Amino acid sequence: MKEIAIVGAGPAGMMAALEAVKSGVGVHLFDANPKVGKKLMVTGSGKCNITNLQAGPDSYDTDEPGILASILAQQPPEQFRQKLAEMGIFTSATSDGWVYPLSLAAGNVVQLFEASLLKAGVTFHNAAQITDIHKKNDNFILTHTRHDAPSVFPLLCVSSGGKAMPDLGSDGKLFPVLARIGHHLLPVEPALAPVTFEDKTLRSLDGVRLDVETSLWLGDKCLKRNLGNAIFTQWGMNGPAVMNLSHLLPTKVNGTIQLKIDFLHQYTPQAKAYLAANQDSQECLPVLLGGFLSQKITAALCKKIGMNPEAALEQIKPDEVQKLLNLLCNYRVTPTGTRGFKYAQLSSGGVPLAEVHAETLESKMQNGLYLAGEVLNVMGPCGGYNLQWAFSSGYAAGRAMAKRAA
Ligand SMILES: Cc1cc2nc3c(=O)[nH]c(=O)nc-3n(C[C@H](O)[C@H](O)[C@H](O)COP(=O)(O)OP(=O)(O)OC[C@H]3O[C@@H](n4cnc5c(N)ncnc54)[C@H](O)[C@@H]3O)c2cc1C
C-alpha cells in the first residue's frame, strides 16, 4: 500500500487526511503538538466560528484570486456544513452568515474530527516536529523528532499553518524549508491582530464594546474600510473592526497612517434628527445620544473638545453640537502598531497561491508536494472565512493526493 504524509493536524491537515484516506492509501498525520487541532480548539473564543455562508473568492486577499475561486468551488460553505453533519457536527448560522456548531464548543468539534480520522484509519504521529524536508529519488524525506515514525513518502502535504499565536504550535519554522525546496515566500506578517495607540480619550473607554465603522488612511487615501465590533482597551482596540484592517499596519508604525473611527456610521442622520427635534431638552448629550451609543463615549468626546458633558442640550450652541457630531463621525487616531504574532489570529503572506496548481494545490516547484491552509497566501476577515479556507484547501489537496496515489 502507498503511504502519504501530511504535516500539520490543524483544520487543513485533518481535512486533507480524511479525503486522502478514502482512496485506500496509508495516511500519516504528523503534528508537533501532543494532540490534534490545538488552534481549532480556541477558535471563535472557544465556540468555533467554523465557516461563513457569504464566503466566496471576493471575501479574501490573495495573489491569485482565480486559483482561490477554483478551490472554494470544490467545497462551498453549504456543502461543507453537510459534510460536518455527516461527522456529527451540526451547525447553525447567524443572520449575517457566521456559522457555529450547535454545541458552541470548539473542543467537541476537534473530538469529532479526531474520531472520524481514527475510524477512517489515519495514523497519528503526535509530538512529532518536522525540522527538515528533502527530496531524494522522487521521495520526500522528513527529518522529525519521532524516531518510531516513518520518514520516506512519495507524496507530502504541508499544512503547517502560519505564524500567528506560535504557542499553539504554528511557528512558521517550515517557511525557510519551503523556500529551500524552491518556493518564493511573500513576507509573513501578523493579520487579524489587535491595534495599539496612545490616546487618553480612547483609553478612558476601556471595556466599552460596540459596532463602529473604521478606516485606515495614508494622507488622503483610504486604504481599507470596515464595519464591525470594536472593544476599547487600555492599550488600543480589539475586535473585528480593527483586526480586519491590521494586516495593513506594520507591527510598529512610523506615524504616517491614521485610523478613523465613526461611532455613529449609518445612524448619523437619525442621531442628528433626534438632537434637532430635542434642541430645547433639559437632558445632556450623553443621555440624549444614549439610544445610539454608550454614554461613556459621548462624555469622553465632549471633554476632549472642552464641552461640559453634563450641560443640558438647550444651553449648548448649535455649532458646538455640530462639533461633537463631527468628532463622533470622524475620530482620528495615529496607531502605534499591532500587538504582533503573539496576539494575531492569522498571518498574511507565505507561499504564493500562484506557486500551486489550481484545482489540486500541488506545488509548481516540487512534484508530489501539496500545500493547504494558512501556509498559503490567503487571508480572510473575521467571521469563519479562514476556517472555510483551511478546510476547503485541505479538502482539495486531500482529494488530489487520493487520485494521485490511486
Ligand atoms: C485565537 C484564534 C481564534 C480564531 N478564531 C477563528 C474563527 O472563529 N473562525 C475562523 O475562521 N478562523 C479563526 N482563526 C483562524 C484559524 O484558526 C486558522 O485560519 C486555521 O487554524 C488555519 O488552519 P491550518 O490548518 O492552516 O493551520 P493551523 O490550525 O495553524 O494548524 C497547523 C498545524 O501544524 C502544526 N505544525 C506547524 N509546524 C509544524 C512542524 N514543523 N512539525 C509538525 N507540525 C507542525 C501545528 O502544531 C498545527 O497544529 C482563529 C485563530 C486564532 C489564533
Say what the pTM is.
0.95
DSSP state letter for 400: H
Task: Tell me, in angstroms, the distance from the centre of ligand 1 to residue 371's CA.
Answer: 14
Which residues span the domain enclosing 352? 3-190+347-405
Residue 361 backbone class (left: φ over 0; alpha: ψ -120 to 50; beta: rest):
left
Atom of ligand 1 nearest to the CA of 52: 11
Which residues lie across from 139 on neighbouring strands? 136
pLDDT of residue 1: 60
Q: Are strands 155-158 and 369-371 parallel, antiparallel or unpaired?
A: parallel
Question: Cα–Cα distance between 392 and 384 in angstroms, integer?
Answer: 12
pLDDT above 90 coverage of the chain, percent? 95
Q: What is the mean pLDDT of residues 335-357?
A: 97
- 12 within 8 A of 372, measured Cβ to Cβ: yes
Residue whose C-alpha cell reads 490567503 in the numeric block: 378
Q: Whose CA is nearest to atom 4 of ligand 1?
A: 43
Q: What is the pLDDT of residues 347-372, one digit of tens each?
A: 999 999 999 999 999 999 999 999 99
Could you tell me if 207 and 270 lie in one domain?
Answer: yes
- Give the Å distances, CA to CA, from 369 to 172, 356, 396: 18, 9, 13
Q: Give burial (CB, 10 Å; 0-12/13-18/19+) of 102.
A: exposed
185 plus 296 within the same structural domain: no
**Predicted pLDDT at 256:** 86
- Rounded-to-integer distance, Cα 27 and Cα 6, Å: 7
312 and 393 belong to one structural domain: no
pLDDT per residue as tens digits for the range 22-77: 999 999 999 999 999 999 999 999 999 999 999 999 999 999 999 999 999 999 99
Please identify which residue in the block is written with the cell numbers 489587535: 194
Cα separation values, 225 from 34, 123, 233, Å: 40, 45, 21
Phi, psi at 158, each rounded to 5°: -105, 115
Mean per-residue pLDDT of the chain: 96
Give the integer Cα–Cα distance in Å for 99 and 114: 21
pLDDT surpasses 70 at 99: yes
At 194-212, the pLDDT tens digits run 999 999 999 999 999 999 9
Q: Which residue has the higher pLDDT, 150 or 43?
A: 43
Beta-bridge partner residues of 262:
213
Residue 155 shares a structural domain with residue 259: no
* Whether residues 129 and 219 fall in one domain: no
Residues 227 and 371 in one domain: no
What band does 112 get if pLDDT is binned at 50, 70 and 90?
very high
Our measurement of the distance from residue 25's CA atom to the centroid of its chain's CA atoms, rounded to an integer in Å, reads 32
Residue whose C-alpha cell reads 511573500 in the numeric block: 186
Same-domain status, 223 and 307: yes
Return the amino acid letter for 192: L
CATH number at residue 56: 3.50.50.60
Atom 10 in ligand 1: residue holding the nearest Cα: 384
Whether the Cβ atoms of residue 326 and residue 268 lie closer than 8 Å to each other: no
The rounded distance, in Å, linking the Cα atoms of 206 and 300 is 11
Confidence of residue 224 (pLDDT cuts 50, 70, 90): very high
* 365/388 Cα distance (integer angstroms): 26
Among residues of the chain, what percentage have pLDDT more than 70? 99
Report the alpha-carbon distance of residue 29 to residue 7 in Å, rounded. Answer: 6
In this structure, the residues whose C-beta lies within 6 A of any atom of ligand 1 are 7-13, 30-33, 38-40, 42-44, 49, 129-130, 159-161, 164-165, 169-170, 173-174, 345-346, 373-374, 384-387, 390
Q: Are residues 48 and 121 in the same domain?
A: yes
Regarding whether 13 and 87 lie in a shared domain, the answer is yes
* Ligand 1 pocket: which of 14, 18, 19, 39 to mutate (most atoms within 8 A of CB): 39
Give yes or no: residues 110 and 233 share one domain: no
177 alpha carbon – ligand 1 mean position (Å): 19
In the three-class reduction of DSSP (H, G, I as helix; E, B as strand; rest coil), residue 153 is classed as strand
Summarised one tens digit per residue, pLDDT across range 66-93 is 999 999 999 999 999 999 999 999 999 9
Q: 163 and 99 in one domain?
A: yes
Q: Which atom of ligand 1 is nearest to the CA of 14?
A: 25
Q: Give the integer Cα–Cα distance in Å for 205 and 64.
A: 41
The pLDDT of residue 254: 73
Strands 123-125 and 26-30: parallel
- For residue 372, which atom of ligand 1 is closest to its CA? 26
Q: Closest Cα partner for 163 from 356, 342, 368, 351?
A: 342
Closest CA to 328 of 397, 263, 400: 263
Kindly give the distance from the C-alpha atom of residue 170 to the centroid of ligand 1, in angstroms, as a whole number: 7
The domain boundary, picked from 317, 338, 359, lies at: 338
* pLDDT for position 253: 75
- Dmax over CA atoms of the chain, in Å, equals 85
Kindly report the protein residue whose alpha carbon is nearest to atom 19 of ligand 1. Answer: 386
Name the domain count of the chain. Answer: 2
Residue 2 has pLDDT above 90, yes or no: no
Q: How confident is the model at residue 380 (pLDDT cuts 50, 70, 90)?
A: very high
Task: Give CA separation, 32 vs 10, 129, 135, 139, 356, in Å.
Answer: 11, 4, 21, 22, 25
200 shares a domain with 181: no
Instruction: Determine the distance separating the centroid of ligand 1 and the alpha carbon of 160, expressed in angstroms.
Output: 8
Instruction: Name the domain boundary from 308, 338, 368.
Output: 338
**Can you tell me whether residue 63 is helix, strand or coil?**
coil
Last residue of a domain, one of 309, 338, 367: 338
Rounded CA-CA distance 190/39 in Å is 16
Q: What letter represents residue 84's amino acid?
A: L
* Centroid of chain to Cα 204: 28
